[in-house]
Structure formats: C-alpha cells, structure tokens
Amino acid sequence: MRILTTILLAGAMAVTGAVSAFAEDVKIGFIVKQPEEPWFQDEWKFADQAGKEKGFTVVKIGAEDGEKVQSAIDNLGAQGAQGFIICTPDVKLGPGIVAKAAANNLKVMTVDDRLVDASGAPLEDVPHMGISATKIGEAVGQAIVDEMKKRGWDLKDVGAIRVSYDQLPTAVDRVEGALSVLKANGFPEANIFNAPQAKTDTEAALNAATVVLNKNANIKKWIAVGLNDEAVLGAVRAAESVGVTADNFIGIGIGGADSAINEFKKPEATGFFGTVIISPKRHGYETAMNMYEWIANGKEPEKLTLTAGQLALRDNYQVVRKDLGIE
C-alpha cells in the first residue's frame, strides 16, 4: 500500500512537473484594435494576470488596421507562439485572419468583436467571447427612459444622438437595443439623429455629434447612446461645446472603465449620466485561460460566450462596483 502511494505520488509529481515546464513554453498573443482605450488596457492587465498564475507568456500587440494585424500574426508565428486572442480593427478581415493564423499554425479566438465572412455572417467556428449587446443596449435605453420621466421631459422636445459605427455588428446591436426601448416608450422616431463616427473613439464621436447638434440647434434637450463610453463621452463633450448643460443632457455609455469613472469623479455632474459596466476581467483573464487550456490540454473553448453588464449611475457607481467586486 505504502509503495503504491509512493509510486502514485511520484507519478503525480512527474506530471505536475511536465505541465509547469510546458506552461513556460506557452506563448499567447493578445491583439487589440485600440490599445490606448482603457477597456483594452484592462483586458491586457487581466490576460497578464492569467499568464502569471499559470506561468505562460502574453504578448500584447496593438493593431489599428489590417496590415498591422497581418504582421502581428506573422510576428507571433515567428516568435513561436501557439495561439492568439484578437479584437480586430475590422470584422471583415475575418477570413484573412483565420487563414493567416492557420499558415502560422496558431490557434485563434476572438474577443469583443466577432469576425464575419464576405456576406457579413459570423465565423461561427472561431471561438468568441463578446458582450450580450442587445440586452445591454436595452438596459441603456431603459435607464434613459426612467431618467427622462424623472425629469418630467416631454419626449417631443427631446433629440437623441445615435452615435453609430454600423460596420460593427455588436455596435448596431447595442444602439438598436437602446433605441428599441426608447421607441417602445413613445420616443418619436423623427427625433433620432444618426451621428456616424469614423473610428470608435471619443474624438470621432465628438465630431459626429457636433454635426447633429449644429443642424438641430432648435432642440434644447438631448440624450445620447453609442457602442461604448467613449462614443457617449464624445456626444457629451460636443453638447457642452454648444452650451447644452448637464440638466438638459442624458448620456449613458457601455464599459465602466476609467473613461467613465473619471467622468463620475468630476465634482460637477456632466451629461454623462451613467454606464453599463461590463467585465474586462472575463474578457481578458478568461479568454487567456481558455486559450491556455486549448494549447496545453487540447480543451477547445466554447464557440460563443456572451457576458452580462450592470447599470451604474453617477450617484451609485461606487456601490455597483463594490457589488461586482471591482475595487
């Protein structure tokens, strides 16, 4: 019996030793479209945390366009990585990314933005983790409806800025989710103005929203929706620049990273009324772990994982963050 235990123990130790030696050889790329955005910084941070825990290396690469994506993947192949996670700058690069990954013998998983084929259909074979976009959009819409009611606004006097990036399916699902709730609550369709942004950042949103505000200077009360906090913040900044005050503006974003929190920390309330907090930990830590399990243990990730969000307003965001375990 004693001998058997010893043998089993020795065996177990040999296996553990083999696995941890292998973990050191695992190299996983984490490519993001907008490295300067707090959301992506957080994803990287949590991916690194997973790497530290398991002993694998995370290679973080920013790739703002298709060319950079191609060279990033080649680069990972040349460095001896075994796989990568990507939030692509353009979902239509889908088939090209899959081909490049295969040519470099790399496993690929997507995060945030799901790859599509030439006809716009999602590449369902590529494991993906994204947010439950429509639901989260609906939460934004409901919170805006509630606040308009609270302020006693007459809907016919209110304009809605739809900060849009319609080439990205998750962006469409998010804003349409919000607008569907607004419309179901009687918001006039004619008062919804599209503000297409050239890029998914605050500056591009500010430019797009400014056009809408200038064209509709007769409207004095505004709400804004967009795919992320940066989009809504752009609309808030645009409104401020034409003199719309916080009591006449309700913008609710999606994200809950530093862009939103810094806004809430300002001593005076701004038009950035709230955000739906989503989880960079799940998107960074969990995707990195999934990729590691795939490489080290042959365990393929789920094909589709959709994560939830939690509404937080300027006056309760600290409590919500605490409940979510974010310090």
Give yes or no for residue 131 binding ligand GLA (CB under 6 A).
yes
Distances (CA, A) of 198 to 195, 225, 297: 10, 16, 41
Nearest to 271 by CA among 226, 229, 240: 240
| Contact status: 284 vs ligand GLA (CB under 6 A) | no
Q: Which amino acid is at 196?
A: P
Q: How far is the CB of 85 from ligand GLA (least distance, A)?
A: 12
- Give the count of residues interacting with ligand GLA (CB under 6 A): 14
CA-to-CA distance for 133 and 49, rounded, in angstroms?
Answer: 26
The CA distance from 117 to 95, in Å, is 6
Per-residue DSSP letter, 302: P
Told to check if 87 binds ligand GLA by CB under 6 A, we report yes
- Nearby residues of 287 by Cβ (< 8 Å), 6 or more positions away: 47, 85, 109, 111, 129, 301
Shortest CB 315 distance to ligand GLA, Å:
23
Q: Pick the closer one to ligand GLA by CB: 174 or 221.
A: 174
Which residue's CB is nearer to ligand GLA, number 90 or number 112?
112
Which one, 228 or 290, has the nearer CB to ligand GLA? 228
CB of 100 to ligand GLA, least distance (A): 20
For ligand GLA, the binding residue among 177, 226, 234, 255 (CB under 6 A) is: 255
Report how far apart, in Å, the C-alpha atoms of 217 and of each of 74, 158, 207, 209, 214 are. Answer: 50, 12, 16, 12, 5
Under the binding rule (CB under 6 A), the answer on residue 112 touching ligand GLA is: yes
> What burial class does residue 4 get, using C-beta atoms within 10 Å of its C-beta: 0-12 exposed, 13-18 middle, 19+ buried?
exposed
Q: Based on CB atoms, which residue is closest to ligand GLA, 131 or 236?
A: 131
Q: In the complex with ligand GLA, which residue's Cβ is closer, 58 or 171?
A: 171
Residue 286 found at the interface with ligand GLA (CB under 6 A): no
Give residues in contact with ligand GLA (CB under 6 A): 37, 39, 87, 112-113, 130-131, 170, 200, 227-228, 254-255, 278
